[in-house]
Structure 1
Amino acid sequence: MIVAAMLLTAGLVQIPVVLNPDLGWLLTVDEKILDGQKLGINLFESNPPLSVYMYMPAVVFSRLSGIAPQFIVIAMVMVEIAGALLIIDRAAASARLEAGERGISAWLFAFLLAVLPGAVFGQREHIAVIALTPFVFITALRWRGLSLGPAAILAGVGAGLAMGIKPFFALVVGLPVILRVVRQRSLRPLFTSEACIAAAIVVGYGALVVVLFPAYVSTYAPMVAEAYLPIRKDLISLVPLPIVVIAASVAFLRFSAPSDFKMSGNSLPWLAASVGGAASFIIQGKAWPYTALALCVFAIAAPSLHLRTRPLRTPTLIGGLAAALLIGLYLSSPAPRFPPLQGRVQALADQPRLLTITDHIGLGHPLVRQIHGTWVGSSCAQLLGAGAILRQQSAQPNPAEQAKLDGIIDFERRHLLADIRTGRPNVILVDTYLLSSFPFDWLAWANSDPELKAELSRYREVEDVGRVRIFVDQSG
């Protein structure tokens, strides 16, 4: 009943807030795929294809039922959380854990997977962390030398899918397993049923991507590696969060664990998973809160699973709750926002055909869904172009690198030109910042191409709102 109440409450809270820029864009991509467009040919997304197709069931069911797809996403995520909790409980039952420990595990992970994510709910990282959690739980049980049932197979499936969503999660999966290898001085932990299944799914998924999405592998993915992945914060701004979160986890372990607690004890797999999440956060380098979800979830789990073994003093309990609250607030901290545009755009055109010239996904999404418009772009934003421009401005690329960056910028301009010609947007929103950090004239960037300039000459500026310039098609 407690778990059900947590899930129900979290689901109701998410109804008005679940639609964020990333989810809005991916739902739009799936709708365009159902309408006949091809990922990697007509549509471009920087993340691997599974990040797109994982939301396809919600779009299909939405078309069948008439329910908005973002609400179906909430239901799908709740089902996934319930499935993860069931796998965890079945593994605990097979390991013959006592009822108290099983109860704390169920309550804890219901909170960590449904309530703690807040504004991260339903994003790729959230879905991946849900899928990863049973694998880490089973690895922690194996660390204790406990026997497991068939739940390990399902845990392996979840871990494999999570790594397909984002390859960085291999660090979360791998570090606890490597610890077992070191501890046992044997390679046998690499060949458990869950590890083998996870590896098989990753290999199979990679083969499917190569076969089904050759354009993504040969053309788009190299541009992502060249222009998008290098966009990152300085290391000095990335490291403090993992240090603080993991240090707090270890400190609370000292207070919540038994008096004979040792750092080599049963919490080490959870700490290793948290360190893997920290490494993923740092390697991605974007410092976006949702990329720290794995770090935070497993860092909280490590000490919390010891709550039944030792009574906590009131100051320690208050400190732990405060730390969890701060982490929750951090995960839900708002990204840089654009000024309110919904009313202004709707006043210019009813159900407009919308396009943006920007590197920020949040300018057009989820705005286009909120105004019941049509997105005519082939990508969410000119993000690769922004990365190439930033690299040109901040470094001195050699001739070969310069040629690649020029090619990426030309790629963005060619597709922007095609979007305007074929989509005929009647409203175009133009940003005036590069990566939300530097003033940048995106209109001048587009007009530097003669063909684009000719197409954009049909549009007149009607208003500028903060950092956004609004253009409408004066011929229509």
Structure 2
Amino acid sequence: MGTSGSTFSVRQRWLIVAAILLTAALVQIPLVLNPDLGCLLTTNEEILDGRRLGIDVFELNPPLSLFMYMPAAWLARISGLAPEIIVIILVIIEIAAVLVTIDRVAATAKLDARERNVTILSLALLLAILPGAVFGQREHIAVVALTPFVAVTALRWRGLDVGRAAIVAGLGAGLAMSIKPFFALVVGLPVILDVLRRRSLRPLFTPETGLAALVVIGYGAVVVVAFPDYLSTYAPMVAEAYLPVRKELSGLLPLPVVVIGASLAFLRLAAPQHFKLWSDATPWLAASIGGAATFMIQGKGWPYMAFALCMFAVAAPLLHVRIRAVRPPVLIGGLAAIALVGLYLSSPAPGFPPLAARIEALAKHPRLLTITDHVGLGHPLVRQIGGTWVGSSCAAQLLAGGAILRLNDAQPTKAEQAKLDGIIQFERRHLLADIRNGRPDVILVDTYLLSSFPFDWLAWANSDSELQAELGRYREVEDVGRVRIFVDQSLPP
């Protein structure tokens, strides 16, 4: 951690942190509601209304990815505030708690006031401002939670005492790995490097590593006991049809190479004393490399999946640079690089044309359903128009989309083909039930497969005679870009 920067009083430090967090909250009000968050909030609201996970509603991700937003949905109901506003408030509270924890650990380690100021203010900016459109997503919440673990590991790397606050770091790391097991790479790589450096297994057996492991084991036990249907039915389909759908290595590798390369270059130029293999910056760089590995393993290439890679890559030089000793061109270049990282994280994914005004002109507060493999067609649209989502899964036919792609792009064995055909039939059966039970006023039909290939989703649905009969009650009223809009024929033209 750096030893540069102005020496503020404790009060001034936390006033600046409060200003940063308030700014982040205000910036996020118009930004935070994205497709994933809209989907997860809607599903939680359905569960609060009495629908049952795994029976009436289905979620692609493990249960914690869904239920971590239940407090926001519940608090919104009892407070009257919009749930997305509650999400912002809760994440800001999480960031504040993490910063207090790291500061307590730094105080126990007897870091001087200047280094504590640099650490806390830098991390406040990186956790609250840098995420941009990633704010409030699962990856953001997970990285915030595991940051104290990386900070504690970095202090232990220096041979410093971290005190009892390290227990909180273990809880946060366990939570992050429970949200997404891939984060074990971010948590584990700095520890493994410390094992290699010390030639001792002692870094593996600290209170925070033990507690993190217990949290993960406990969460696994809860899933086995409370959500057996997810493990026996849905998780195998996810593994068969969703996880294998990924970008080519050539499309994934450039981002980690550029981001980590830039981090190393800035360390070399602005903090040469921390450029050595076993320097104080190494744990932060190791966490960034772990983030790069999670990005590569997931293979989707979506910006929010790169948040751990980007955040820790920026933190490594930022926490160790001596600003006054940096030449102006290097400083300007570093700030520009951070800005570019922020822009990348907030870059919009290929999406859909504006549909809210068109749908509201057809039906006020409609019951809405989509036929697509993309969550972004129906969400957060249904919330923006005050409609009711009648699908059993916010992800719509995502598993079917993955299965179709695998069937078309590969040469599956007979056993694999049977599994993929079963997944496609599973999706058709649930779409039929959604139309029959939900009686949507409006159905939006996509014309692309995985946002990459032209695909006739209406023909896919009509290949089932029962679905064709149900869809016969709807008339097409408009094509908007890649989306076909159908309305119930009982609605006035």
| Normalised TM-score (structure 2) | 0.95
In the TM superposition, residue 428 of structure 1 has moved relative to its aligned partner by: 0.2
Alignment partner of 2:140 out of 119, 122, 126: 126
Amino acid at match of 2:403: A
Residues 255 and 219 from structure 1, CA distance in 2 versus in 1: closer, same or farther, beyond 3 angstroms? same
In the TM superposition, residue 125 of structure 1 has moved relative to its aligned partner by: 0.4
In the TM superposition, residue 387 of structure 1 has moved relative to its aligned partner by: 0.2
Paired position in structure 2 for 1:6: 20
Contact 2:274 2:280 in 1 (8 A): no
SS at match of 1:103: helix
Alignment partner of 1:463 out of 478, 482, 487: 478
CA distances 1:252-281 after superposition (whole Å, capped 9, x unpaired): 111222547522111111111000000000
In the TM superposition, residue 475 of structure 1 has moved relative to its aligned partner by: 3.2
Amino acid at match of 2:145: A
Alignment partner of 2:219 out of 205, 208, 219: 205
Alignment partner of 2:35 out of 21, 40, 47: 21
Paired position in structure 1 for 2:427: 412
In the TM superposition, residue 248 of structure 1 has moved relative to its aligned partner by: 0.7
Q: 2-side partners of 1:260 and 1:166: how far apart?
A: 31
Paired position in structure 2 for 1:323: 337
SS at match of 1:221: helix
Contact 2:275 2:281 in 1 (8 A): no
Q: 1-side partners of 2:384 and 2:96: how far apart?
A: 30
- The alignment status of 1:451 with 2:466, answered yes or no, reads yes
Q: 1-side partners of 2:323 and 2:455: how far apart?
A: 57
Alignment partner of 2:173 out of 147, 159, 163: 159
Q: 1-side partners of 2:61 and 2:31: how far apart?
A: 23
In the TM superposition, residue 42 of structure 1 has moved relative to its aligned partner by: 1.5
Paired position in structure 1 for 2:374: 360
Alignment partner of 2:87 out of 70, 73, 78: 73
- The alignment status of 1:146 with 2:196, answered yes or no, reads no
Alignment partner of 2:452 out of 437, 455, 460: 437
Alignment partner of 2:66 out of 30, 39, 52: 52
Q: 2-side partners of 1:351 and 1:260: how far apart?
A: 58
Q: 2-side partners of 1:185 and 1:198: how far apart?
A: 22
Amino acid at match of 2:487: V
Q: 2-side partners of 1:71 and 1:429: how far apart?
A: 28
- The alignment status of 1:108 with 2:122, answered yes or no, reads yes
SS at match of 1:359: coil
Amino acid at match of 1:99: A
Paired position in structure 2 for 1:279: 293
CA distances 1:361-402 after superposition (whole Å, capped 9, x unpaired): 110000000000000001122100000000000011110000
**Structure 2: runs of 5+ lacking an equivalent:** 1-14
Alignment partner of 1:297 out of 308, 311, 317: 311
SS at match of 2:369: strand
CA distances 1:308-347 after superposition (whole Å, capped 9, x unpaired): 3861110110010000000000000011121111011111
Residues 379 and 21 from structure 1, CA distance in 2 versus in 1: closer, same or farther, beyond 3 angstroms? same
Residues 261 and 20 from structure 1, CA distance in 2 versus in 1: closer, same or farther, beyond 3 angstroms? closer
**Structure 1: runs of 5+ lacking an equivalent:** none
Amino acid at match of 1:412: E
SS at match of 2:314: helix
Amino acid at match of 2:413: N
Alignment of 1:180-329 (within 5 A): 180-259=194-273, 261-308=275-322, 311-329=325-343
Residues 259 and 28 from structure 1, CA distance in 2 versus in 1: closer, same or farther, beyond 3 angstroms? closer
SS at match of 2:102: helix
Alignment partner of 1:386 out of 378, 396, 401: 401
CA distances 1:129-182 after superposition (whole Å, capped 9, x unpaired): 000100000000000000011110000000000111111101000100111111
Q: 1-side partners of 2:433 and 2:337: how far apart?
A: 50
In the TM superposition, residue 185 of structure 1 has moved relative to its aligned partner by: 1.6
In the TM superposition, residue 65 of structure 1 has moved relative to its aligned partner by: 1.0
SS at match of 1:265: coil
CA distances 1:390-423 after superposition (whole Å, capped 9, x unpaired): 0000011110000000000000000000100110
Residues 462 and 349 from structure 1, CA distance in 2 versus in 1: closer, same or farther, beyond 3 angstroms? same
Q: 1-side partners of 2:273 and 2:225: how far apart?
A: 55
What is the identity percentage for the equivalent residue pairs of Structure 1 and Structure 2?
Answer: 73
SS at match of 2:52: coil
Q: 1-side partners of 2:306 and 2:472: how far apart?
A: 44
Q: 1-side partners of 2:122 and 2:428: how far apart?
A: 49
Q: 2-side partners of 1:208 and 1:453: how far apart?
A: 41
Structure 1 ranges of 4+ moved more than 6 A:
none
Contact 1:129 1:294 in 2 (8 A): yes
Contact 2:264 2:275 in 1 (8 A): no
Contact 2:39 2:379 in 1 (8 A): yes
Paired position in structure 2 for 1:421: 436
Paired position in structure 1 for 2:100: 86
Equivalenced residues, count: 476
Amino acid at match of 2:431: L
Contact 1:257 1:310 in 2 (8 A): no
In the TM superposition, residue 195 of structure 1 has moved relative to its aligned partner by: 0.3
CA distances 1:10-58 after superposition (whole Å, capped 9, x unpaired): 1101111110000000000100111111212211111111111111111
Paired position in structure 1 for 2:6: none
Contact 2:351 2:376 in 1 (8 A): yes
Contact 2:197 2:278 in 1 (8 A): no
In the TM superposition, residue 291 of structure 1 has moved relative to its aligned partner by: 0.3
Contact 1:432 1:468 in 2 (8 A): yes
Contact 2:267 2:321 in 1 (8 A): no
Contact 2:370 2:445 in 1 (8 A): yes
Paired position in structure 1 for 2:9: none
In the TM superposition, residue 184 of structure 1 has moved relative to its aligned partner by: 1.6
Contact 1:338 1:362 in 2 (8 A): yes
Q: 2-side partners of 1:263 and 1:240: how far apart?
A: 23
| Normalised TM-score (structure 1) | 0.99
Contact 1:100 1:308 in 2 (8 A): no
